[in-house]
Amino acid sequence: MLHRVPDHAKKLFDIMLKGRALAYKLAQPGTVLEEIDKQVRQVFIDAGYEKNIIHRTGHGFGITGHEDPFLALGDRRKLAPGMIVSIEPGIYFKGQGGYRHSDTVLITETGNLKLTSAPETIEELTFKK
């Protein structure tokens, strides 16, 4: 039996997943990085959560854990095959927490490949009694 997840939490989790799915769709070679962030942000804005966006959609990996290129407003570079980035859009609520799922993604010649494996659905992420 699963613990009960409040309806408002399910709704927010689903909105985050919608933004994440869009980021995956857009994470293609040649896509301008800031365009990914703009479109993902718009998902959250359209849902009424503009004030709950406190970070970028993703970042690069290399020598440090968080480095450029950034899937963020202002980064006009384009994704290219061989780049490794995170996809981790989120929405956050003061005093409550946030809704974010972070993945490490390789940009390929034809799209992207998720390199991480973790539970993704709310059912998989909910502790059983």
Is the per-residue pLDDT at 2 higher than 80? no
Q: What is the pLDDT of residues 68-97, one digit of tens each?
A: 899 999 999 999 999 999 999 999 999 989
Please tell me whether residue 127 adopts helix, strand or coil conformation: coil
What residue spans define the domains of the chain?
Answer: 7-125
Compute the 3-state secondary structure of the chain and give helix, strand, coil in percent, each to the nearest 5. Answer: 30, 25, 45
Q: What is the pLDDT of residues 26-63, one digit of tens each?
A: 999 999 999 999 999 999 999 999 999 999 999 999 88
What is the value of pTM for the model shown?
0.92
For residues 101 and 109, the answer to whether their CB atoms sit within 8 Å is no
Give the CATH architecture of domain 7-125.
Alpha-Beta Complex (3.90)
Cα angle 55-102-19, degrees, rounded to a multiple of 5: 65
Give the DSSP letter of residue 62: S
Six-digit token pair at 40? 């993902």
pLDDT in the model for residue 49: 97
